[in-house]
Structure 1
Amino acid sequence: MKPEGARQTLKTWLGRLPGVVELDWHIRRSRPPLRRHLKTLAPYLAEWGPWAAERARQAPPGRKIAVFAVLSPWVAQTAVLSLALAAQGHRVALGYFPYQDWWQPDDRWGWRKWSLYLRDLLKPAAGAFQVVPLLNEPHDPIPSHWDASLERLSAYDVEYTRQREGADAEDPLYPLRLARNRAAAAALAHWLRREHPDVLIVPNGAILEFGVAYEVARRLGIPAVTYEFEYQREHAWLSQGVPVMELDTTDLWKAASSRPLTPQQLARLQEMMTARRGGRPWETHARAWQNVGRAGSQAVRQRLGLDDRPLVLIATNVFGDSVTIGHQVFTRGMGDWLAETLRFFARHPEVQVVVRVHPGEAKLAPGGTSMLEIVSHTFPTLPEHIKVVPPDADINSYDLVEMAQVGLVYTTTLGLEMAMDGVPVVVAGRVHYRGRGFTLDPATWEAYFHLLEQAVTQPASLRPSPEQVALARRYAYHFFFTYPRPYPWHIAFWRESLQQWPLPRALEETRFRETLAAFAGEPLHWEQWV
């Protein structure tokens, strides 16, 4: 065995012995390298921790809240959230696992060292909330009826990590994730039973230990609030009762669906969509969704060699995104949907088909499931009437939308945007805008192929009514502007948000206090916000 291998084996063995890592920590005080989010947070904790503790002593008593985190950016993010809740009088406990990744084998020495480091880093906040290193938590027995959920979550973890559709049972990552998820469930079950919180707050709630935390809370009957960030400054997605990556807009839509948009709201939506379609950021929306501006549909038509036959646009997603994994309705997955759709249209040269592979695939993990791979596997030589636009093509997706008579989507937001433009949209996956009244939502292959037959023979018969187009625009407005809730400390804009929103200042803002109340379990008052 090589010296470094022997050394690592020894550290792994020593890491399992009680007190050894702690002794090394106290003697040598050796610290792991600071991660960006934690390094940025440290001076703010030193200032805000004592302030929040004093504010908490003066506030009326609130709810008992457990907050869970894993991975450095999320430990940092939830620490600030915990301070904000504690400063409002809530009794907060932040439980964390010290893992810095989710794919490496057992590193008990490193984990325990990180656990000590995080405990030390969070000391300035300990007067405001309880710090719970979950690596030290006893394990409760896992009931056998939890096994299927843990196995499903572990398969999702493999798909998320590999960005490959379908978890390979032979992939060594699967047993690693299953072991980690079982250990997390056992520790979380013990902690949550001991704490008996009124609510558990957990990021994401669908994958990795975040998904396990949500699942354990659900099985223990503890209300869970999950949250995530999109590329919109000073906002967060927030969900009560289901994982936030489901993007469940049901209650919001009940409040908004019957209320027509005002001229001012329509103008704001149009302004944002103009920027989005032109590949430009807008207001707090920091991401440019296209890598190139508009060239015009005629220029794109000539470039792709399209003629005047009706055009069907197929828009895919990036596989591995947690808004795609596990969102099948009647297909085995997105690859299955695309392959079967292409086989259908191969028999129908009377229409043209363009497959727009999501631009995000340009950053696909090595070995990930590319929709280009699905296309080439289905048809090594494409029929002349089927065109593919690869992810890195300098073609704006909205020029394709302008030409389309029908749109086919899995879960991409482009489906919502096509419906806003009056394009009939057939939705194959389980996405938040499915079933909202302005898309075509088959639940079986038979119903799906029936709609495709109509797309070939009578595309105009699928066209949404003016009322449905108005409904799509109404939904889009509230999805983009109402569903994201005001929240100051965005994980993707970490340094600037901490600088711009010191804790005392943020708590003076009514909009942020309303969101913090929802984090604490108060109902989301959609009817007040639409």
Structure 2
Amino acid sequence: MVNNNKETLKRFLGGIPLTAELYWLVRQRDNPIHSRFSLKALHEALPSMVEEVKKIRPQSQVQKKKVFIFAALHYWIEQAAITGLGLAADNHDVTLGFYPYFDWFTDSTKFDIRRQNIYAQKVLEQASSVMDVVSFITYRAPYTPLPKALQDAVNQVTVFDTQYTLQIEDVDPNWPTYQFRLKRNQEAAQSLLAYLRATKPDVVIVPNGTVQEFGIVYRVARFLKIPVTTYEFSDQREAFWIAQNAEIMRQDTSEMWSAQADSKLSNEQLSRIKSLFESRQQAKVNENFTRQWQSLPSQGAETVREQLKLDNRPVVLLATNVLGDSLTLGRQVFSKTMADWVSRTILYFIGRPDIQLVIRIHPGEILTREYSMVDVVRQTLPELPEYIHVIQPEEKVNTYDLV
């Protein structure tokens, strides 16, 4: 009851100008706010990092560019700020733009968002001598009309956001999650369109580039024909993926393959590939990779045949992916959804008792919140015939043994 009253009060105060700002002056000052939105590590490290930038900057011979870096969510703000300092050390004219959100799915009160905004600005102003900072809670352009191409992009990103958040594929625009993400994405598109038109940076840098405000910034930059770099962290320590004028989550390596088309694979490269394959097969980590992609080492084909009671009929393996992963969004090629693909495959094999179908549900589904490919299988065929097998995410079966 107390929490409900507190939230009601904050929603009321959020509609009154300067209430969050006065609260900050009276209660917060230089103290961190009690919220999941924390920039504590950045706050402590910024002064010394800024001094290092000032020392390095005069020595830089790099051609100066006007760089706009964007971040939403506190952990991305910390990362983007450090990236911005690195570019500022090379004497670039850097601006860090941000939204002070602690997550992408909670409709926080205006009061809380404004408090988080003041806090973030206070932290980031420590870097004001080497880079500019703009908050898009402060810089708003709600009356900026969106061209149809950008409105379509906002709608598409909102679908992705709903799929990403709820970990589902079919989306109803009337759902609260869709409506909430549409509101945030629409506001971001209007503000960023007005800002980038006015400031005309030489390059835009944004994480991910597919979902949430990150996807909006990428699409606005592309619409304005501003060169844009997207990046995302991978499953390797001290490494990340990067793309130019493309969404990094699309993992388009065609230009890399084209550039290396005539190169021969060296013995060292082949050895690394073999080591990587072996580590995946044996449930080990390799080099600087951080994840084990199998729950147990390879047990051998005969072991898994016995475990699943497979006979000598041909075996077809259907390996699903994880719903809502931003690497998989918008990837439909030959079916409407992954669920549709799985369901139609099962329906086909119902009439093929001469073949054994093994459906391997992605082990990553252990971490999912809602819908599972297991549900798709059950809805399609509540009782499976003996020649159709489903391996649950948590089952101790090595996928390489199935292969």
Alignment TM-score, normalising by the size of structure 2: 0.94
Q: 2:115 aligns with which of 113, 116, 121?
A: 113
- Code of the residue aligned with 2:132 in structure 1: it is Q
Q: For residues 177-256 of structure 1, what are the structure 2 equivalents within 5 Å? A: 177-256=181-260
- Does 1:335 find its partner at 2:339? yes
User: In 2 relative to 1, CA 35–177 (structure 1 residues): closer, same or farther, beyond 3 Å?
Assistant: closer
Partners of 2:4 and 2:84 in 1: CA distance: 40
| Contact 1:42–1:121 (8 Å) recurs in 2 | yes
Could you say what secondary structure the match of 1:227 adopts? strand
DSSP 3-state at the match of 1:33? coil
Q: Aligned equivalents of 1:24 and 1:310: distance in 2?
A: 70
> Structure 1's 36 and 96: CA in aligned 2 closer, same or farther, altered over 3 A?
closer
Deviation at 1:298, TM superposition (A): 0.5
In structure 2, relative to structure 1, the CA distance for the partners of 1:50 and 1:190 (3 Å cut) is farther
Alpha-carbon distance, 1:275 to partner: 1.0
Deviations 1:349-405, CA, capped at 9 Å, x for gaps: 22211111100011111x22x11111111111112211111100011111111xxxx
1:101 equivalent to 2:103? Answer yes
1:263 aligns with 2:267: yes
1:138, CA displacement in angstroms? 2.8
User: What pairs with 1:428-439 in structure 2 (closer than 5 Å)?
Assistant: none
Cα 1:258/1:383, change in 2 over 3 Å: farther
Inter-partner Cα distance in structure 2 for 1:149 and 1:206 = 10
For residue 144 of structure 1, report the CA deviation from its aligned partner. 4.7
**Cα offset, 1:130, TM superposition:** 0.8
Partner-residue secondary structure (3-state), 2:331: coil
Structure 1: distance between partners of 2:15 and 2:136: 15
- Quick one: which amino acid aligns to residue 236 of structure 1? F
Distance in structure 1 (CA, Å) of the matches to 2:335 and 2:201: 39
Instruction: Name whichever of 84-93 and 250-259 sits farther off.
Output: 250-259
Match of 1:142 in 2: 145
Question: Identity over the aligned pairs, expressed in percent?
Answer: 38
**Alignment pair present for 1:322 and 2:326:** yes
Number of equivalenced pairs: 398
RMSD over aligned Cα, in angstroms? 1.8
**In 2, Cα distance between equivalents of 1:42 and 1:399:** 50
* 1:150 CA drift (Å): 1.1
Alignment of 1:268-287 (within 5 A): 268-287=272-291
Report what 1:49 is aligned to: 50
SS in 2 for 1:122: helix
Mapped to 2, the partners of 1:234 and 1:377 lie a distance apart of 42
Match of 1:515 in 2: none
1:70 aligns with 2:69: no
Q: List aligned pairs for 1:493-504, cutoff 5 A.
A: none
Amino acid at match of 2:146: P
**SS at structure 1 position matched to 2:188:** helix
Indicate the larger mover: 36-45 or 168-177. Answer: 36-45
Match status 1:394 vs 2:393: no
- Other structure's SS at 1:99 match: coil
Q: For 2:43 and 2:139, how far apart are their aligned partners in 1?
A: 25
Alignment partner, residue 41 of structure 2 = 40
Measure the CA separation in 1 of the matches of 2:100 and 2:323: 28
Q: Which amino acid aligns with 1:23?
A: L
How far apart, CA to CA, are the structure 2 residues paired with 1:19 and 1:220? Answer: 35
Distance 1:285 1:261, change over 3 A: same
How much has 1:302 moved relative to structure 2? Answer: 0.3
TM-score, length basis structure 1: 0.72
The alpha-carbon distance between structure 1 residues 171 and 109, as it changes in their structure 2 partners (threshold 3 A), is same
Q: Which amino acid aligns with 1:64?
A: K
